Structure 1
Amino acid sequence: MSTTYNKDLVHDAIRDSLPWYRNPGLVKLYLLLISPLLTSTAWGFDLSMTNSLQSVDTFMNNFGNPSGATLGFFGASASVGGIVACIIGGPLNQRFGRRMMCFVGGLIVIGMGLMQTFSTSFGMFSGGKLLLGLGSNLQQVAGPVLVTELAHPKQRVALTSIYNTSIYIGLIIGAWITFGTFSMDSAWSWKIPCILQIMLPVYQVVTIWFCPESPRWLVSKGRVEEARQILIKYHGNGVEDAVVKAEMQEIIAGVEADKTELKFEWDAVKAILGSRGNRHRLWLCFWTAVGSQCAGSNFISTYLPEILEQIGMSTSREKTLINGISSIWCWVCALLAAFIIPWVTRRQVFLFSISGMTACFIVWTALTATYLRTGERSCGIAVLVMIFIFNFFNSICWIPLVITYPLETVTTKQRSLFFAFTMLTINASSFVASFINPIGIQNLSWRYYIVQCVFNTLLGLIIYFTFAETHGLTLEEIAVVFDGDEQFDNAIARAEYEKKVDVDTHEEVTDIKV
């Protein structure tokens, strides 16, 4: 590697940079990033309503008390829209930029929130929910990518980890609005939560254009100077300091070293899959996405009312109250984890989480079986306690890292497409889990939980043997973990040579003019 690029010096410069709250440029940037940081709130609000509305008698009676497969499709419909969004979202995100997708997705969520409010049939309501999933996932394909690529290297992991905790803002707002309206003896008991879910998307579509575009996306489009000025303005607070210079050098080299061609052609697909590093990336994206939906969290996020019915908590007040408290608890756990994750290794977090979740599910299964056999209320309360402990283990890992880990394992050119694949897998696995879980619970009762215990054990083995460590590395350095350092080193050297030629040429021209 050229002597002008020194990895240790780059890390020292990042470490010694001012705290963000003492850098006015970063303070402004992070205030502007609130808009993309909140893109998962619409998904959280929808999950909360999926859960809470099943506890509202007026809603269930109005739409004929759906159950079984009909209720399963209702719970899974947003994921169907999400699958479509992830298929088209990656290429659109790469072509039009991150901000445009946040904007378009927000408009769709607003329109479908209004459609749900004035639905006249359960099919119409589920259709609005399906299209709301489309809009929400268009936002989610772009929002975290924009946050990751704009954040200062010193705060990147913390900010990206914080991103998905905003799903709980939607869950909390939706749960407590429903708790406040469930007792109303009119259709407004469910219409008020539906119409209020458009509040944050309205804020997002207005403010997203004040946020700068991703410098890495701009470089990939040849707009290098525009990207440089964004980094100088926000990261360097108007000065092209050592960190900004290192960032630009790494971004340009990373884009140049990445030979990925993102086209819908068979040769391009073969080129991507032909790389061992890319196959490893796709493997990690796939299992991180599946784990976030199928490690047991889907039981609670979508069908908590049915679980509470099993343990004797059947009133609307009990269900909506527990749902609201659970959402706050999960948000606190996830938010605390977002600040701890930058200081510990990814594998430690994944393994600690899946081990705790599996242990909780084993105890949960035994307690549910005992309650259904004996009817002892203490066993039902113990199940509720296990649900809260399970939520702790889930929230500290799968909420922040399902975004952070896939985004940091891929290169700039890959990021929008590979993350779209991650979101596609999230929605597909969520659809499967959401659709079969109520059927499994209805037909197998507590025995259905045994399947979950086995799956979690297998997932833990996959994490232990195949998950790569990315702790403490910049985005471009993580690429070297998968691809080796030869391409990156050559690109760094080439970028330095071209910069030197530009400087020499500029000096010669200056001399001539003088």
Structure 2
Amino acid sequence: MSTQEQLPGENTPTANSLIEKESKTDDINQIVADALANKTFKDYFLISCLCFLVAFGGFVFGYDTGTISGFVNMTDFIERFGSRGADGVATLSSMRIGLMISIFNIGCALGGLVFAKVGDMKGRRIGLMFSMAIYVAGIAIQISSHDKWYQIMIGRFVTGLSVGIVSVIAPMFIGETSPKAVRGTLVCCFQLCITLGIFIGYCCTYGTKTLSDSRQWRIPLGLCFLWAIFLTVGMLFMPESPRFLVEKKRIEDAKKSIATVNKLSTEDPAVYAELQLIQAGVDREQLAGNASWGELITGKPAIFRRVVMGVCLASLQQLTGINYFFYFATTIFKAVGLEDSFQTSIILGAVNFLSTFVNIWAIERFGRRLCLLVGAAGMFVCLIIYSGIGSKALYGTDSLGNETTNLTTGRAMIFVTCLYIFFFASTWAGGVFCILSETYPLRVRSKAMAVAIGANWLLGFTISLTSSFIINAIHFYYGFVFTGCLAAAFVFIYFCLNETKGLSLEEVDELYAQKILPWKSASWVPPSAQHMASSTGYAKSSQEHLV
């Protein structure tokens, strides 16, 4: 069979032929279930390793977050890129810090919205390699800067373009490639790599902070070239997304990809059965016509609702306040009165990384909705305590009227912060990416995820740009802003978010087609494939579909 051929007997799909073909997929589903139900983790080891290579794109993002927090507090960095006052002492103004940190998020938003389509045109693997080429250029711009702070800002914007592409393509790639039984766990590996990157970034800046010259920040930056090489080489061993290959009519390549993922022979009936299921889903989407940006509003079933849900969910992830700690951790804990705030950053990074393993287990054990609800409630309580004791009990005055810092209160704030990060990392961190990767049909997934993740980056830009000013103005009262957002997030999750645990991408479409109430979605049982083919709207003509 040629790689450009369709499956035997398949021509351009029509509504009637598609429904007839879908009527056979109950048996196909049973073949797949029989072949895959008894697989152990050992059987998924290879695809787990391959998906981890894709997820390593998250490490690139996390490493940037972990290093920039330290850079803006390093003596050589301040001397080179700060401005000098009348006393000749160099300082980094709130505006300069805000711009250097936040411009990265603007680059991420544009990268996700504009350049991530490379993954649709050339494939997910090529898209990730392309992103790494941009990433290397951005790091080169930064590391070659001598004393121009705006060169650092430009370089961070360019690296942001790369990370924006990765943030769209990597979770989508993992979601399309991994078996349904372990998809949620493997998608969460993207967040695991983000937290690992943050932790390693904190460790690198801690290790170089005592150096007396530009090696303080140039060594951590230079390591970024190694991360880019690792991800690029890794993509040479990663099979392309079978859904992408089927969409491009590369059927033989899709068979090989499915066989590799499931450690089966290309002639195994389960491989052919899985290929039939993917082909049926792609046929439904192609029958509806090519996706346009307008279809994000008019598409069925409930595409606009899903897009709005994704935008809200991605925005609320930023509004939990997590980057208030990660971008400004070193600055915050200087204010608490600790002698070495770099050490505290490492502690927070370690808690963040280790807690993500809980997320990988919990997301499949308890489902997406429950994890996010528990996480929102836990973070709400932690931030109430953190903000309350920080604003009321941290500072005092001695007998001479001088301001003093209560170190016991400061240590209590660090402990509460660790609890807060545990709740975030074990629930919202990976849960949001997992839900986004499972929510959209193939033909609109790239655009819909780009919009959702773009909203996430824009909120990140706003928070990172303004936080330095707000921290200086209202100090620890800032935490109360995020407690209000967390209360809203809890309500949103309960009333608006559907459970997608254990559902195929096609079954998620049916969930929305039936307008299942979110708080009842966890107990919903998918109907037969024949029923889905006639009810979701994908077996309708393009005109009907968009009405």
Tell me if both proteins adopt one fold, taking TM over 0.5 as the criterion.
yes
Q: In 1, distance between residues paired with 2:218 and 2:388?
A: 39
Greater helix share, structure number: 1
Question: Is residue 89–residue 420 contact of structure 1 (8 Å, CA) maintained in 2?
Answer: no
Question: Is residue 378 of structure 1 aligned with residue 402 of structure 2?
Answer: no
Aligned-pair CA distance for 1:130: 1.0
1:210 aligns with 237
Corresponding residue to 1:58 among 76, 79, 87: 76
Q: In 2, distance between residues paired with 1:27 and 1:394?
A: 27
Q: Structure 2 vs 1, CA of residues 290 and 7 (structure 1 numbering), >3 Å: closer, same or farther? A: farther
Question: Is residue 106–residue 457 contact of structure 2 (8 Å, CA) maintained in 1?
Answer: yes
Q: In 1, distance between residues paired with 2:298 and 2:528?
A: 18
1:417 aligns with 447
Q: Structure 2 vs 1, CA of residues 4 and 426 (structure 1 numbering), >3 Å: closer, same or farther? A: closer
Q: Structure 2 vs 1, CA of residues 4 and 299 (structure 1 numbering), >3 Å: closer, same or farther? A: closer
Aligned-pair CA distance for 1:115: 2.1
Q: Structure 2 vs 1, CA of residues 261 and 380 (structure 1 numbering), >3 Å: closer, same or farther? A: farther
Question: Is residue 52–residue 189 contact of structure 2 (8 Å, CA) maintained in 1?
Answer: no
Q: In 2, distance between residues paired with 1:262 and 1:69?
A: 44
Amino acid at match of 1:192: I
Corresponding residue to 2:424 among 381, 385, 394: 394
Question: Is residue 109 of structure 1 aligned with residue 138 of structure 2?
Answer: no
Question: Is residue 219–residue 252 contact of structure 1 (8 Å, CA) maintained in 2?
Answer: yes
1:19 aligns with 40
Question: Is residue 201 of structure 1 aligned with residue 228 of structure 2?
Answer: yes
Question: Is residue 439–residue 500 contact of structure 2 (8 Å, CA) maintained in 1?
Answer: yes
Question: Is residue 303 of structure 1 aligned with residue 321 of structure 2?
Answer: no
Aligned-pair CA distance for 1:55: 2.5
Correspondences of 1:207-286 after superposition (within 5 Å): 207-241=234-268, 243-258=270-285, 261=289, 269-270=294-295, 272-275=297-300, 277-286=302-311
Q: In 1, distance between residues paired with 2:35 and 2:427?
A: 26
2:114 aligns with 88
SS in 2 for 1:211: coil
SS in 1 for 2:503: coil
Question: Is residue 489 of structure 1 aligned with residue 515 of structure 2?
Answer: no
Question: Is residue 29–residue 273 contact of structure 2 (8 Å, CA) maintained in 1?
Answer: no
1:438 aligns with 468
Q: In 2, distance between residues paired with 1:307 and 1:196?
A: 26
1:71 aligns with 97
Q: Structure 2 vs 1, CA of residues 413 and 4 (structure 1 numbering), >3 Å: closer, same or farther? A: closer
**Structure 2 unpaired stretches of 5+:** 1-21, 83-90, 397-404, 515-525, 535-547
> Taking every aligned residue pair, what percent have the same amino acid on both sides?
21
Q: In 2, distance between residues paired with 1:271 and 1:153?
A: 25
1:355 aligns with 377
Moved more, 222-231 or 48-57: 222-231
The CA RMSD measured in Å over matched residues stands at 2.3
- Alpha-carbon displacement from aligned partner over 1:258-312 (angstroms, at most 9, x marks no partner): 3665555xxx505743536112211221122112211110111111123213322
What is the TM-score with the length of structure 1 in the denominator? 0.88
**Structure 1 unpaired stretches of 5+:** 494-514
Amino acid at match of 1:77: I
2:493 aligns with 463
Amino acid at match of 1:352: V
- Alpha-carbon displacement from aligned partner over 1:364-413 (angstroms, at most 9, x marks no partner): 11110123443322111111111100000100112211211111011122
Aligned pair count? 484
What is the TM-score with the length of structure 2 in the denominator? 0.83
Question: Is residue 325 of structure 1 aligned with residue 347 of structure 2?
Answer: yes
Question: Is residue 388–residue 477 contact of structure 2 (8 Å, CA) maintained in 1?
Answer: no
Corresponding residue to 2:508 among 463, 478, 482: 478
- Alpha-carbon displacement from aligned partner over 1:161-203 (angstroms, at most 9, x marks no partner): 1222101221122111111110111111111111112211111
- Alpha-carbon displacement from aligned partner over 1:447-503 (angstroms, at most 9, x marks no partner): 22222211111111111110111122122212211134899637869xxxxxxxxxx
SS in 2 for 1:30: helix
Q: Structure 2 vs 1, CA of residues 262 and 286 (structure 1 numbering), >3 Å: closer, same or farther? A: farther
